[in-house]
Structure 1
Amino acid sequence: MGVIRVWLLLMSIMALAVPEACSELNGLRLELAHVDSNGNFSKLELLQRAALRSNHRMARLTAAASGNKVQAPVHAGSGEFLMDLAIGTPGLAFSAIIDTGSDLIWTQCKPCVECFSQPTPVFDPSSSSTFTKLPCSSNLCQALPTFRCGASGCEYLYSYGDSSSTQGVLAGETFTFGTANPTSVSNIAFGCGDTNQGSGFSQASGLVGLGRGPLSLISQLGLGKFSYCLTSLDESKNSPLLFGSLADLGATAVRSTPLRKNPTQPSFYYVSLEGITVGGTRLQIPSSTFALQEDGTGGLIIDSGTSITYLELAGYRQLKKAFLSEMQLPVADGSETGLDLCFSLPSGSSTVEVPKLTFHFDGADLDLPAQNFMIMDSTTGLLCLTIMASSGLSILGNFQQQNIQILYDLKKEVLSFVPTQCDQL
């Protein structure tokens, strides 16, 4: 049995951008802030907000995993973490959502046809000496899922699975990362959006895609790999995002699993989940439950922008049954949290025993510490499982990724991970 202590649900994850400055870009370090870090929310409110965003994002992602044919790939387009950067010459600072479920880098641009309210001034291309519109003949224009050749060059429409979208021109610009030791990179292709609509964008002034396609930041930087290490949600510590040579995992206990490809959803990072153990018992889940099907449905993706882990219903039912059997606490109504399975805490308790949880991936076991799958809120007296059911697509969420450095190696097509004290990285 693992031991879980009273965890403050969501403390601020502050962003202090400290990238590596180098004459040749071999590595880059950025710092991530949680989207609610400055909101002054109660623990219950923070959990409710995270669960609501996760459910909304899951709905976007499963739009691609239904039995219906999809004409174009579906992208995630929302997230839980922000990064600071600047665009243009002179640079205009703004914060952007990072999203491992999509590729396009974009921000709102003047003159706006339809723009949402954002926390920083809208970028004006006419004020930058390094702004250039990309022609339709460019490889990155051709990589867009939807574009047309117009008077402005490569005109794009990028949709996010529901009514959310960004529309404008694909352009090239200088981006500057960090503030303490800023690193500038020229000729980054981005969407200069004059028509942007939908929920989930207003926490920031744009989005930085970290998916597997050619339009993503990691692909355009040409550094081949990135890693992040998400600090515990009860700490107001930085979460580092590392690119290139700085992304490597230094510890010896590294475990790796192949990244799988889904031609119908090429941006997503798929891994093969082969089984789950709760306590000391491996669950009797058919091997096909989490498998990626030939038609592109099913499978499991690892995602930075979804807080909660979602498991295909047949697998989740077995997991829930095992926790109901193993937990020595009464079941409670956790509907106010937005989660499915909650238990009542004993009066005055500060620690509770919970069963161990292991996810068995292809070639690698992920042993999760208790705080990575159970959330305790002493004010409501609830202890809740941060795993829920899904239909079609399964997702490994960021609650389960706390204090684990996770490396995405796009060249080797491998996902590696190692337990790490992220606030000391």
Structure 2
Amino acid sequence: MHTTTLAWLVGVLFLGLSSTTGAFAPSRKLLERSTLGFQVTLKHVDAGGNYTKLELVRRSMRRSKTRIERLYAMASDPATESHVHAGNGEFLMELSIGTPPSSYQAILDTGSDLIWTQCKPCKQCFDQPTPIFDPDKSSSFSKLPCSSKLCSALSMSSCTHATCQYMYTYGDYSSTQGIMGTETFTFGSVGVPKIGFGCGADNEGGGFSQGSGLVGMGRGPLSLISQLDVPKFSYCLTSIDSTKTSTLVMGSLAANDTFAAKDMVTTPLITSPSSPSFYYLSLHGITVGDKQLPIKKSSFALNEDGTGGVIIDSGTTITYLEEDVFNLLKKEFVTQMQLPVDDSADTGLDLCFKIPSGATNIDVPKLIFHFEGNGADLDLPGENYIVADSSGVACLAMESSSGMSIFGNFQQQNMLVVHDLVKETISFVPKQCDQL
């Protein structure tokens, strides 16, 4: 049996990510989109809390529950596309808006498109960690006319006094509405003018209070990716219990020497006509230990009606697999782990094992995801699918889904994930993300 050793530490693991908001150079370099290349700091929304690794996963799963329902609804029913978007997320993006720049912590969301923040004067605004943006105090703010392409790209919009009005709802009565504008956004010391965004005067619902708005990173025309027209972007997510920040890299800096890496895994991106914003992958099979699971070809197929398929998502914590596939995976882990199953259901995860008293490491089966592509076999490290806790349990950080499967951020820890939007591929390269 092919196994890997998972080391774990007894005790509480502390999070304390330091923010770099406000550390912008006095003079910003304004870049045109054709020359873009910059790096942005990301931090986990639970930064600063004293949680064990298992507690972090459980908190993230609770946040992800509503998000997953939104993702499923958006993918399976094209008729809901106009009013259901992904929303929420697990990582905050550090940037600034306006001239002079105002610091801003945005929820990073690869499952939706609109960029928005709360703006004065607010009719209804939720509490946010940074001051609410005041467009009247920025010399670079402009209202977006109704004739603009970005206004036309909105699923719900109206026109008042020649200004584009937007409304964006997230399927659980969370919403943002206001006017569309353009503004200079600053990433590190790099300023990018005329980015279209929603200036929300009426914002309500749960899930947004960790940040001061949201930056959509999907494939639609409203997203930051599309507006910047960058050929590539990448992110490298540190371990969920790390004290270090993660990194997002845009444009010309996103690849560097990545494609010379021997252990790079590259697979094509698939586009769904009903959900064109999502990043779909072609997953063909899964191997546990030395056994490839007998998965039906239809289990991961993207159907014509928009159901099924596999998306990669930075805002969903653990991986969710189609129910029949997960049951096969679960059964094989029970067979190969050689540890008693924990049936207490205290962890919130579907499959857990009891760790022998005094053990500091355990052997776990290898787990390999087989994607489409030449040699596109992603061999995950043990800490990317087993989470061990000081309470004496080790759990599989995966769950079942009813249709669409999601490759979550827990499985992407310490990997450089490169989205090549020209070649329409995604590449995975093992990295120590806290050392970038």
1:139 correspondence with 2:146: no
Distance 1:415 1:341 in 2: 29
Kindly state the Cα deviation for residue 113 of structure 1 after the two structures are TM-superposed: 1.6
Give the corresponding residue for 2:49: 39
Where do 5+ consecutive residues of structure 2 fail to align?
none
SS at 2:74 equivalent = coil
Give the corresponding residue for 2:4: 2
Query: 1:54 touches 1:306 (CA, 8 Å); kept in 2?
Result: yes
1:217 correspondence with 2:224: yes
Q: Deviations along 1:122-142, whole A, 9 cap, x unmatched?
A: 111111111111111101111
Deviates more, 1:185-194 or 1:211-220: 211-220
SS at 1:247 equivalent = coil
Distance 1:137 1:23 in 2: 26
Kindly state the Cα deviation for residue 84 of structure 1 after the two structures are TM-superposed: 1.3
SS at 1:330 equivalent = coil
Q: 2:314 aligns with which of 296, 304, 307?
A: 304
Deviates more, 1:157-166 or 1:60-69: 60-69
Give the corresponding residue for 1:418: 429
1:127 correspondence with 2:137: yes
Query: 1:311 touches 1:388 (CA, 8 Å); kept in 2?
Result: yes
Where do 5+ consecutive residues of structure 1 fail to align?
none
State the TM-score, normalized to the length of structure 2.
0.92
Q: How does 1:337-416 map to 2 (within 5 A)?
A: 337-363=347-373, 364-378=376-390, 380-416=391-427
Query: 1:19 touches 1:29 (CA, 8 Å); kept in 2?
Result: no
Amino acid at match of 1:91: P
Kindly state the Cα deviation for residue 42 of structure 1 after the two structures are TM-superposed: 4.4
Q: Deviations along 1:146-192, whole A, 9 cap, x unmatched?
A: 111223611111122322221111110111112xxx11111010000
Distance 1:342 1:405 in 2: 28
Q: 1:194 aligns with which of 178, 198, 201?
A: 201
Q: Deviations along 1:257-295, whole A, 9 cap, x unmatched?
A: 111001111111000111111110110010110110001
Distance 2:70 2:14 in 1: 24
Q: Deviations along 1:298-323, whole A, 9 cap, x unmatched?
A: 11100001111001111111111111
SS at 1:289 equivalent = helix
> Residues 26 and 239 (structure 1 numbering): CA distance in 2 closer, same or farther, change over 3 Å?
same
Give the corresponding residue for 2:268: 258
SS at 2:297 equivalent = coil
SS at 1:354 equivalent = strand
Distance 2:349 2:69 in 1: 15
Query: 2:87 touches 2:170 (CA, 8 Å); kept in 1?
Result: yes
Q: 1:243 aligns with which of 234, 238, 250?
A: 250
RMSD: 2.0
> Residues 146 and 357 (structure 1 numbering): CA distance in 2 closer, same or farther, change over 3 Å?
same
Query: 1:152 touches 1:169 (CA, 8 Å); kept in 2?
Result: no
Amino acid at match of 1:208: V
Query: 2:219 touches 2:277 (CA, 8 Å); kept in 1?
Result: yes
Distance 1:39 1:11 in 2: 6
State the TM-score, normalized to the length of structure 1.
0.94
Q: 2:326 aligns with which of 305, 316, 332?
A: 316
Give the corresponding residue for 2:102: 92
Distance 2:96 2:186 in 1: 5
Give the corresponding residue for 1:11: 15
Deviates more, 1:68-77 or 1:107-116: 68-77
Distance 1:37 1:114 in 2: 27
Distance 2:6 2:83 in 1: 40
> Residues 65 and 218 (structure 1 numbering): CA distance in 2 closer, same or farther, change over 3 Å?
closer
Kindly state the Cα deviation for residue 59 of structure 1 after the two structures are TM-superposed: 1.6
SS at 1:117 equivalent = coil
Amino acid at match of 2:415: I
- How many residues are paired up? 421
Amino acid at match of 2:360: S
Kindly state the Cα deviation for residue 121 of structure 1 after the two structures are TM-superposed: 1.1
Distance 2:324 2:163 in 1: 48
Distance 2:81 2:74 in 1: 10
Give the corresponding residue for 1:206: 213
> Residues 57 and 212 (structure 1 numbering): CA distance in 2 closer, same or farther, change over 3 Å?
same
Sequence identity of aligned pairs in percent? 57
Query: 2:316 touches 2:408 (CA, 8 Å); kept in 1?
Result: yes
> Residues 167 and 244 (structure 1 numbering): CA distance in 2 closer, same or farther, change over 3 Å?
same
Q: Deviations along 1:6-36, whole A, 9 cap, x unmatched?
A: 1576734444468998664431011111100
